[in-house]
Amino acid sequence: MRQHHDMGGEPAGRVEKTEHDYAPWEKRVDALLVLLSDRERSLIRTDELRKNIEAIGPDAYEKMSYYERWITSVTANLLQRGAITAEELSRKLADVERREKEGLL
Amino acid sequence: MSQARFQPGDRVKVRNAEVVGHMRTPRYIRGHEGEVERICGFFANPEELAYNRHGLPKRALYRVRFDQKKVWPDYQGPAGDTVDVEIYEHWLDKA
Amino acid sequence: MSTHHDHDHDHHDHKHPTQPDVDGPLTYHQRLEIAVRELLIEKGIVTADEVRRAIEAMDARTPAQGARIVAHAWADPAYKKKLLTEPREASLELGVDPGVTKLVVVENTDKVHNLVVCTLCSCYPRSILGLPPDWYKSRAYRSRAVREPRKVMSEFGLEIPDDIAVRVHDSTADMRYLVLPKRPKGTEGWSEEKLAAIVTRDTMIGIAEARIP
């Protein structure tokens, strides 16, 4: 079975010549990956990043932007490696949401 | 690290295998024959690295050149057009 | 061609890592980035300063680096030879650090035109050219560049005659490819600076040719 990320030769439409200046949050995702994958930290490898992106379901893969896939994969890897726990993450996400509502971000 | 099994100019065939998990051999090239263009070096196996294992011993990685007209029966272009794909040794057989 | 990302240099220094991107509500993934980053900082795994510096380092990598390398290769045959055989050393010689990237430089000639794609993800010579454009990462480009490269190039306005072989490079594993475009006729005697100005990002991916404007 072909995995959905393995798309070489598949039918597709015209290539739209799109590009955009990366948003600060996208650059931060990139920076996190660079830092976490350096020799000193070694909390994610390129092939782990790829594996976790490939694990995103086909529908979500199509809908998500490039850096949305990356932060999803980085997060999954930190959980897999035990660097963060699901409970810590869910509490922190709730906290971020609260601060956003209160205008504190 | 061992010696490379193939040399530039050797004819090789990509294994037509089904795999579960992470790998770097695109599906479109499996089962096709090509020619080793160069030995890229020796690298830890990505199929193991993806699961946070060391992936040793390192594997030879080759750049293999394929004729487009053979890869895609409906290829639109002259006979000399090629596609180069990097393929790990354990995905290659002697053609 | 709008390939300049250099303008970020003017203002990125003032951005605090936690500054919100837009006035509207954050998306789920934007909140996730904040949450993960804050957790990593709290745990002492990264610092806010390291994040900021990593972004600065990334902003400093632009296609201008690659253009400088190409222009020097056009001007100096010995350097060109080195670039094709020892790309890492050649790149370092001009102060461009390929980092962990295993660089392969492929030369466009009167007989061969090279085009780079990554069908499995979006591998790109980031250390030389900076971050890839969106179209390079798109489903359409990743799917079609390998099967109908001539048609895709033609959609970008590049027609390759049939007596020139098209060589597609699918960067599936550990190599990253940089195209050394053909030096246009009529540029004899140009300074390297002037030459570099016509080496766009797209010429180094192989989707365009260097042209005199």
> From edge to edge, which strands make up the β-sheet containing B11-14?
B92-94, B11-14, B33-43, B59-67, B82-88, C165-170, C112-117
Q: Given CB atoms, is A79 within the 8 Å cutoff of chain C? A: no
> Which residue range is the domain that position C195 belongs to?
63-205
Neighbours of C203 (CB within 10 A): 25
CB contact under 8 A, B84 and C169: yes
The reply to whether C53 and C82 lie within a common domain is no
- Residue B13 DSSP code: E
With 0-12 / 13-18 / 19 or more C-beta atoms within 10 angstroms meaning exposed / middle / buried, residue A34 is: middle
Give the burial string for A36-45 (b: 16+ CB within 10 Å, else e).
Answer: bbeeeeebbb
User: Residue C101 has what pLDDT?
Assistant: 82
**Is residue C3 a part of any domain in this protein?**
no
In the structure, how many helices (H) and strands (E) does chain A have?
5, 0
Q: Is A46 on the interface with B (CB under 8 A)?
A: yes
The percent of residues above 70 in pLDDT, for chain B, comes to 98
ipTM for the complex? 0.97
- Pair C32, A71: CB distance under 8 Å: yes
Tracing tokens 């995103």 back to the chain, one arrives at A56
Q: Tell me if chain C has a CB within 8 Å of the CB of A50.
A: yes
Residues C88 and C54 grouped into a single domain: no
Residue C176's DSSP bridge partners are C103
Kind and range of the H or E run holding C106: strand C102-107
Closest CA to A24 of C133, C59, C208, C139: C59
Looking at the structure of chain C, the number of domains it has is 2
Which residue type is seen at C166? V
Helical (H) or strand (E) element with C177: strand C175-180
B31 and A CB contact within 8 Å? no
The answer to whether residue C191 is catalytic is no
Strand (E) or helix (H) holding C74: helix C63-75
pLDDT digits (tens, 9 = 90+) for B43-84: 999 999 999 999 999 999 999 999 999 999 999 999 999 999
Could you tell me the maximum CA-CA distance found in chain A, to the nearest angstrom?
49
- For residue C37, how far is the Cα from the chain centroid? 27
Q: Do A50 and C121 touch (CB under 8 A)?
A: yes
Same domain, C37 and C138: no
Whether residue C192 lies inside any domain: the answer is yes
Give chain B's mean pLDDT.
Answer: 96
The residue among C137, C165, C199 whose CA lies nearest residue B84 is C165
> Which residue out of C2, C91, C122, C191 is catalytically annotated?
C122
Q: Does A12 touch chain B (CB under 8 A)?
A: no
Task: Count contacts between B and C (CB, < 8 Å).
Answer: 73
Residue B46 at interface with chain A, using a CB cutoff of 8 Å: yes
Q: How many CA atoms lie within 13 A of B6 on its CB side?
A: 30
The answer to whether residues C93 and C197 belong to one domain is yes
Does residue C163 sit in the same domain as residue C98?
yes
* Number of other residues whose CB lies within 10 A of the CB of residue C185: 7
Residues of chain A contacting C19 with CB distance shorter than 8 Å:
24
On whether both C88 and C180 belong to a single domain, the answer is yes
Copy the structure tokens of residue A27.
């650059």
How many distinct structural domains can be found in chain A? 1
For residues C123 and C33, state if they share a domain.
Answer: no
Is residue C123 situated within a structural domain? Answer: yes
Q: How many CA atoms lie within 13 A of A34 on its CB side?
A: 22
In a domain, C16, yes or no: no
d(C-alpha A94, C-alpha C32), whole Å: 10
What's the pLDDT tens digit per position in A24-66? Answer: 999 999 999 999 999 999 999 999 999 999 999 999 999 999 9
Q: How confident is the model at residue B20 (pLDDT cuts 50, 70, 90)?
A: confident
What CATH number has the domain bearing residue A95? 1.10.472.20
| Tokens 């959905």 -> residue | A4
Check B72 against C167: CB less than 8 A apart: no
Question: How much is the CA Rg of chain C, to the nearest whole Å?
Answer: 19
Among A47, A79, A81, the strongest candidate for a mutation testing the B interface, having the largest count of B CBs within 10 A, is A47
Spatial distance between the Cα atoms of B82 and C166, rounded to a whole number of angstroms: 6
Q: For the ranges B18-32, C4-18, C97-111, which has the lowest average pLDDT?
A: C4-18
Domain residue limits at A31: 24-101
Phi/psi region, residue A74 (left: phi>0; alpha: psi -120 to 50; beta: rest), is alpha
Report how many Cβ contacts below 8 Å link chain A to chain C. Answer: 154
Give the C-alpha separation, C192 to B66, whole Å.
36
The residue assigned the tokens 């980092």 is: C99
Quickly name the fold that domain B11-94 has.
SH3 type barrels. (2.30.30)
pLDDT given for residue A52 in this prediction: 97
B3 contacts: CB under 8 Å, gap ≥ 6: none
* Chain B residues touching residue C165 (CB < 8 angstroms): 78, 80-82
| Contact assignment for A51 to B50 by CB distance below 8 Å | yes
C50/C77 same-domain check: no
C-alpha gyration radius of chain B: 14
pLDDT value at residue C22? 57
| In a shared domain, residues C136 and C41 | no
Best probe of the C interface among A4, A17, A53, by most C CBs < 10 A, is A17
Residue-wise pLDDT tens digits, A82-105: 999 999 999 999 999 999 999 998
Interface of B with A in 5-24 (CB under 8 A): 18, 21-22
